[in-house]
Structure 1
């Protein structure tokens, strides 16, 4: 009776082992797919975050700024048109406008805020920024020379508790020294407008006044010059370098990447680190693939030995497991790319649905500058992720394939 049941038991045990090996292979494929999808989604979100913040920055900030090193606003502002004409000779320059920039304190009642004050020409500001189109109350044209009006960011106005027609007290960092002590230079300004750029950092810390009022207010503490807009903001560093060669040596050309270098460098470093960290998920799935193939080789020793006795060479045996492992890697990578791309291209719809469903808000604008989760899938990233996954999967098949090709038929059949 035992002899009759023994083959049946062997078949049952072999069937269970086959199912277990198949389960491990399916797990490896799923792990590869999830790892690839996670990489695509995370990198797309980081690209979208960088693009969104950059675009919102450049809706307020100029592409390039020209200013005279060491000169006060009263000295450099009258000559801005001369430098603007020199800059417009470059075919990449599409818009020019004068500016005065300085730090100040704004006081309203018991509330005090530090602000970045920008003196602008309302008639020309639309040539270099989107501030005129971002006004939510009042008009930028209400900034008149000598009227000492001010346009505040929406969050700054809310923090100060002011609306159109209210007055605020602005204090310059420099002042005068008298027998009574140090007296800061101060001036009362009337709120004539409120803007909203969608970037909390600027909406909570920027104030715009007329250039002539700014020159009087910050005559010994600010800087002045020309703001430029170029045809392609990605070429701003090259255009700034070209302008530096044609302008006088005392005129400094500073582009937006230079002014925000620390932030963009941090984002790029974070993106690289996230790629390396999430690539470990794919690496773990590749190790699972390796273990499943090793188990398959162990389970199929007898079949391999029979194939060898029928004339199959080591290369043919190795090719079988190479193809098997490669198919798992290709299928997992393809599934991951499709799933990841589907999520990445629709994340701006999926995330609001999840937020509404669970009543949560993932991004606080005070922390992340933006309130919505952006996504910018890039083909180069998707190709790099897919290639990395395929390479790791191929590497995982090398050892099991080599192990299978080294099996000796006589030894295997002797112990079977």
Structure 2
């Protein structure tokens, strides 16, 4: 084995007998480097893109969300509230009332959702992370915080003088068409005191209010909620918290974590990552089979040396190992070089913004140990298969 490895290193690093062999070997080595580099860039880019996309869910979505298993509301009894306070894994929870509403501001209409939240909502999410202008909700039931998309569409800003009001309308329950349209809706006039921004979809969907105002507008009792949003003390306590919550609410409610709340987004990002990995791997397969071609050309070039070694007592398996090791060395060294170059490019992107999405936003990237492992195993495995197939060309027929 030592002799085979020694000869393989000599063949790899010493020039061949012709320029054509040297050029082919150089192209094969470059293919390994580019394959490893490309795969590392793709994995790091998608890791950064995934973090960038999911960052907004951490701003807006709770660690756990309890929703009614049927109907629009869940009855939260005083006993339920007491039991929620006894769960050690829960740092804080907020009661939420949510419903579709009709907005009107200076004769401009828009449909949206009102999200009434209790005072503890500020401990479940960080309002400062989404608030871009004005103030967050206080105890005043006649104030709201609107999304940036709603604000732009209605031409509505933060009111300091309390001269312009936002009208919120909710249809009254009942059958048939009322004779007086003005009595068909419950109405509340409120003042926008803040503007938030999470992403384009959420910015155009919600207006936040106190839960008291939302309940009054929707004619709900103090025990009725649309959801309960929970902040955990740490992620490791999630399963224990879910088990205890399931005991409290039994079949009355559905409990989801952040991943389940954004299941479609997670699935889309994972699918895109997998497809991109497979595409780049396919390209790497094509490039790495140049290694097989280079080894076959090297076998032809060293045919005389191979016969000499065979006549001196080197076995056929040992001769095959020489060129197998040569291909593996080329693959491993090329992969390491490709990873090193990829690391430099990713660090340069993170520090200098070589590729920009917008003039002020660099393409997000993230370096993970998993990316190094996946790239190394993928490229070396493909290179090892190619090297094995090429070295198997050494047979008794060649040695005649």
Structure 2 residue 149 is matched with structure 1 residue 152: no
Q: Which of 289, 295, 298 is the equivalent residue of 2:297?
A: 295
Distance 2:349 2:311 in 1: 56
Structure 1 residue 214: Cα displacement: 0.8
Which residue of structure 1 aligns with residue 391 of structure 2?
401
CA contact (8 A) 1:153 1:202 kept: yes
Structure 2 residue 241 is matched with structure 1 residue 244: no
Structure 2 residue 202 is matched with structure 1 residue 202: yes
Which residue of structure 2 aligns with residue 35 of structure 1?
35
Structure 1 residue 343: Cα displacement: 2.6
Q: TM-score with structure 1 length normalisation? A: 0.81
Which residue of structure 1 aligns with residue 165 of structure 2?
167
Distance 2:274 2:37 in 1: 17
Structure 2 residue 149 is matched with structure 1 residue 128: no
Note the residue ranges of structure 1 that are not aligned, 5 or more in a row: 1-14, 364-370, 412-416
Which residue of structure 2 aligns with residue 5 of structure 1?
none
Q: SS state of the match for residue 62, structure 1? A: coil
Q: SS state of the match for residue 144, structure 2? A: strand
- Of residues 174-183 and 83-92 in structure 1, the stretch that sits farther from structure 2 once superposed is 174-183
CA contact (8 A) 1:143 1:150 kept: no
CA contact (8 A) 2:67 2:254 kept: yes
CA contact (8 A) 1:84 1:226 kept: no
Structure 1 residue 209: Cα displacement: 0.6
Which residue of structure 2 aligns with residue 53 of structure 1?
53
- Of residues 126-135 and 327-336 in structure 1, the stretch that sits farther from structure 2 once superposed is 126-135
Structure 2 residue 79 is matched with structure 1 residue 89: no
CA contact (8 A) 1:120 1:211 kept: yes
Which residue of structure 2 aligns with residue 138 of structure 1?
134
Distance 1:231 1:35 in 2: 43
Structure 1 residues 215 and 398, CA gap change in structure 2 (3 angstroms): same
CA contact (8 A) 1:84 1:96 kept: no
Structure 1 residues 235 and 396, CA gap change in structure 2 (3 angstroms): farther
Note the residue ranges of structure 2 that are not aligned, 5 or more in a row: 1-14
Structure 1 residues 39 and 326, CA gap change in structure 2 (3 angstroms): same
Q: SS state of the match for residue 344, structure 1? A: helix
Q: SS state of the match for residue 59, structure 1? A: helix
Q: SS state of the match for residue 277, structure 1? A: helix
Structure 1 residue 179: Cα displacement: 2.2
Which residue of structure 2 aligns with residue 389 of structure 1?
379
Which residue of structure 1 aligns with residue 317 of structure 2?
315
Structure 1 residue 235: Cα displacement: 6.0
Structure 2 residue 342 is matched with structure 1 residue 340: yes
Q: TM-score with structure 2 length normalisation? A: 0.84
Structure 1 residue 210: Cα displacement: 0.8
Q: SS state of the match for residue 247, structure 1? A: helix
Structure 1 residues 227 and 341, CA gap change in structure 2 (3 angstroms): same
Structure 1 residue 267: Cα displacement: 1.3
> What value does the CA root-mean-square deviation take over the aligned residues?
2.8
Q: Which of 327, 330, 334 is the equivalent residue of 1:325?
A: 327
